[in-house]
Amino acid sequence: MTNNPHISVQHLNVQIGNQEILKDITINIPNKKVISIIGPSGCGKTTLLKSFNRLLDDTADVKITGKVLVDGENIYDPKAEVTHIRKKMGLLSQRPYPLPMSIYDNVAYGPRLHGKPKKTELDELVETQLKATGLWNEVKDRLHAPATRLSIGQQQRLCLARGLAVEPEIILGDESTSALDPVSTSIIEDLFIKLKEKYTIVLVTHILRQARRVSDYIIFVYMGRIIEFGPTEELLLNPKEELTKEYVKGYIS
Amino acid sequence: MIRRKIEENFFRVLMVLATVIVAGSFFLIVGTIFYKGVPFMNLDMITKIPGGGFYIGKEGGVLNAIVGSLYVAGGATILGLAISIPVAIFINMYLDGKNFIANSLRIAFDVLFGIPSIVYGAFGFLIMVYFGIKASLLGGIVAVTLLVIPILVRTLDEVIITVPKELRDASLSLGATRWEMSKVVLRQIRPGIFTAVLLSFGRAIGDVASVLFTAGFSDNIPTSLHQPAATLPLAIFFQLGSPVEEVQGRAYASALILTIVVLIITVLSSLLSKRFSKNKIQ
């Protein structure tokens, strides 16, 4: 494992209402790797992911204790600037949610929030990010068409391009391929593998084969606790914990 | 099996019957207005202000009331929107996680929604007395604004609730502030805003009780906010009260004009709503 973790979670507890969703989570997420969070439905894996960019803040009756350090900075520090934290991370949700505007404006949205880029700079940036997600050739003639005209798979790649346009360091994927067909899924998976050269990627998935295909490390979460964390092959083929063994074999789900 | 079939048919007949009653009443109402109003319709009705005698005269038209109604309903809807959009955004975007306050506010607006318009008229009248404003266009607009705010807030609220949480998260995770996120939500609900405007305008243009004491009545078209203004519903009310048959007929012609105005607004807003929904995500 690496010496300087990109995200370091220390004794994180998340409680919503009377329910403890995450209990005493401590983990170091290595830099520029793909990490999959696996676990049965309702185990808290999405909550864990959303705690990384403070998207839990708006949840009713939420209580969060502990620390999440990103680049050594505690994002739950009251003085931390929440927009600055979120800018560091691109989020790819379960279904693509393009913003209600054109393809071009979707990618340009983030850069426009954080500065006043010139038209030529924006054009260049939009092209770069659409190329990075393999969408450029498919949309270059209709950049100003509504984003909703794209297929679901294209929309998801657009959302990825939109996230990359704010120059994040981390990509968070919340079951990002669950609404997609097999072809689109494999395009997105290949993108993740390509993008880890530049980004740290954290994915929530319930598909073990996907975790195996794309990730370097796997975190297994069960009932709000981290049961096991390790390199992909090791965790899937040689799990140390009994619970992991049962989950991987499909006894618990 | 037979019992299920009878049940199916029974409720189908019931539904068809109910639909026929509703559609039938609609045509009956519109038909009556046309039947009674058309003989008294002429170009003068919509191009001239009343001539010969105070509002119940037989000459001239009701242009004063048409313009007055558009002023009052339009002014109140614009003013109402300027107040309601921030309120709806605040309830949904800034109070999330504080459900108790948000829901209390929603109940408050529901109660306001149910208050009869005469109460708003009386309240508006009190405000006017307090500030020393005479019955005028301004007074009418203020009273009707009070009337339409609950409609606008609750309609916008319902529309905003349908915006997927993920869309808000998408905007936030790109580093947007709450207000920047709210602008994305407003884009998404643009078609819904037109629905809200339509409901509000329809209620505003048809209401008598709220303008009864506040807008006054005049044979002339108001040229400033401080002049009294006539509205179509009030004109209909006064004309119907006349013992002269011809004047009563003019009431139906006025009702016809009011119906047509509402129809135009409806078509216009649904066209605009379509035009603005091309970027809306499903």
Per-residue pLDDT at B1: 78
B176 has a pLDDT exceeding 80: yes
pLDDT in tens, B187-218: 999 989 998 999 999 999 999 899 988 988 88
Q: What is the DSSP letter of B172?
A: H
The beta-carbon neighbor of B174 closest among A61, A146, A162 is A162
Asked if this assembly's ipTM is beyond 0.90, the reply is: no
Distance of residue A242 Cα from the nearest chain B Cα, in angstroms: 36
Q: Which helix (H) or strand (E) holds A37?
A: strand A34-38
A234 has a pLDDT exceeding 60: yes
Cβ of A98 under 8 Å from any chain B Cβ? yes
A117 has a pLDDT exceeding 90: no
Measured at the alpha carbon of residue B264, what is the angle toward residues B259 and B269, in degrees to the nearest 5?
A: 125
Cβ of B97 under 8 Å from any chain A Cβ? yes
Cβ–Cβ gap B279/A100 under 8 Å: yes
Distance between CA atoms of A43 and B275, rounded to whole angstroms? Answer: 44
pLDDT in tens, B129-170: 898 888 899 999 999 999 999 999 999 999 999 999 899 999
Per-residue pLDDT at A224: 92
Cβ–Cβ gap B97/A59 under 8 Å: yes
Q: For domain A30-59+81-249, which architecture applies?
A: 3-Layer(aba) Sandwich (3.40)
Question: For the whole model, what pTM was predicted?
Answer: 0.84
pLDDT in tens, A50-76: 999 898 887 878 899 999 999 888 999
Cβ of B172 under 8 Å from any chain A Cβ? yes
- The phi, psi pair for A200, rounded to 5°, reads -90, 130
A1 has a pLDDT exceeding 50: no
A3 has a pLDDT exceeding 90: no
How far CA B140 is from CA of B64, B75, B207, B210, in Å, comes to 15, 9, 11, 7
Cβ–Cβ gap A97/B172 under 8 Å: no
Show which of residues 56-95 on chain A sit within 8 Å of chain B, judged by CB atoms.
57-62, 83-84, 86-87, 89-91, 93-95
Alpha helix stretches (DSSP H) within chain A: 45-51, 82-87, 103-113, 119-132, 136-139, 152-164, 182-195, 208-214, 232-237, 242-249
Residue A119 in contact with residue A161, Cβ under 8 Å? no
Q: Of A176, A207, A133, A17, nearest to B173 (Cα)? A: A176
Per-residue pLDDT at B67: 93
Amino acid at B271: L
Distance of residue B155 Cα from the nearest chain A Cα, in angstroms: 20
Provide the residue ranges of all domains of chain A, joining segments of one domain with +.
30-59+81-249
CATH number of B43-275: 1.10.3720.10
